[in-house]
Amino acid sequence: MKISVELFGAAREFSKTKYLEFNFSKSCKLIDIKKKLYEHVDNKFNGNLNYKEIIKSSAFCSDKDQLIKENQILNKNQIIGIIPPIGGG
Amino acid sequence: MLHAKIIDSSIEKIEISKAEHFLKSEKFGAVIYFIGVVRDNNENKKVNGITYDAKDTMVIKSFEEIYNETEQKLGIKNKAVFIEHVKGHLKLSEKSILIGVACKHRDEAYRLSRFIIEEIKKRSPIWKKEHYENEDSEWLKGISLTT
């Protein structure tokens, strides 16, 4: 199963592409996706603490623009969005 | 009546005339425009521009939700609201947001305008990356939507 994480705001610094893609052998929860993101930061950015803080403080949303709960099970290929702390206007 | 739109700064700009046209009605005696613009400093750093990022569909949804809440939370039934927010790069003094509201009386219009901008700041997934005179840039810290 493939989960694509669309990057927004400060999380855009995680990659030159718009998405990060992670494969899971079966269903996953948000905590599993966060683990993959932390690993990505460890591997690509030498464990950059600021980037890890962004992951920690971010919400995640489904392809229907609804916030994903920590224990919600994702069991099909989909695109989700990482929503770092906001501040428009 | 609501107009809500994300403006891609590489294609178009926020124009007050569009809001004036949308809000014009003989029913309303008070019209207020709130305009956010890019200023040249923040926390003692000289700013020369801002790049705005947005999750467009979620932003529009949040604008609609905020608008829909105003009747219950503020008791304002008859109104017209025009909201546009920019996505992309802006130079100093360029407009990042325009909130136009039209109501029967001024008290309602002032309250409505203030409510909308404060809720957008708290709820709409929009981000700012400031660009500084020394060529550094930084995403601004904001409000977390985690529960």
- Condensed to tens digits (0 to 9), the pLDDT of residues B65-101 reads 999 999 999 999 999 999 999 999 999 999 999 999 9
* Arch. (CATH architecture) of A2-83: Roll (3.10)
Asked whether the predicted pLDDT for residue A88 surpasses 90, the reply is no
The confidence score (pLDDT) of residue B98 equals 98
Tell me, yes or no, if A86 comes closer than 8 A to chain B by beta carbon: yes
| H-type alpha helices, chain B | 16-23, 56-74, 106-123
Average pLDDT of B105-115? Answer: 98
* Domains of chain B, earliest start first: 2-139 (3.90.1170.40)
pLDDT band at residue B117, thresholds of 50, 70 and 90?
very high
pLDDT at A71: 87
Asked whether the beta carbons of B93 and B47 are under 8 A apart, the reply is: no
Distance, CA of B108 to CA of A45 (rounded, Å):
50
Indicate the residue of B52, B59, B127 with minimum beta-carbon distance to A84: B127
This complex has an ipTM of: 0.92
pLDDT digits (tens, 9 = 90+) for A60-70: 999 899 999 98
- Cβ A7 vs Cβ B54: under 8 Å: no
Tell me the pLDDT of chain A averaged across its residues. 94
Chain A residues close to B54, C-beta within 8 Å: 8, 88
User: What is the band of B126 on the pLDDT scale with cuts at 50, 70, 90?
Assistant: very high
Q: Which of A4, A83, A71, A63 is nearest to A36 (CA)?
A: A4
* pLDDT beyond 80 at B147: no
pLDDT of residue A89 exceeding 80, the answer is no
User: What helix, strand, coil percent values describe chain B, rounded to 5?
Assistant: 30, 40, 30
> In which band, very low, low, confident or very high, does the pLDDT at B103 lie, cut at 50, 70 and 90?
very high
Cβ neighbours of residue A27 under 8 Å, at least 6 residues apart? A1, A73, A74, A75
The three-class DSSP label of residue B130 is strand
- The per-residue pLDDT for B6 is 98
CA distance B45 to B40: 8
Q: What is the dihedral of CA A60, B122, A15, A76, to 10 degrees?
A: 20
List the one residue out of B13, B23, B21 whose CA is nearest residue B96: B13
Q: Which helix (H) or strand (E) holds A37?
A: helix A30-45
Residues 22-41 of chain A with CB under 8 A from chain B are none
Per-residue pLDDT of B127-145, as tens digits, reads: 999 999 988 999 998 999 9
A57 Cβ under 8 Å from any chain B Cβ: yes
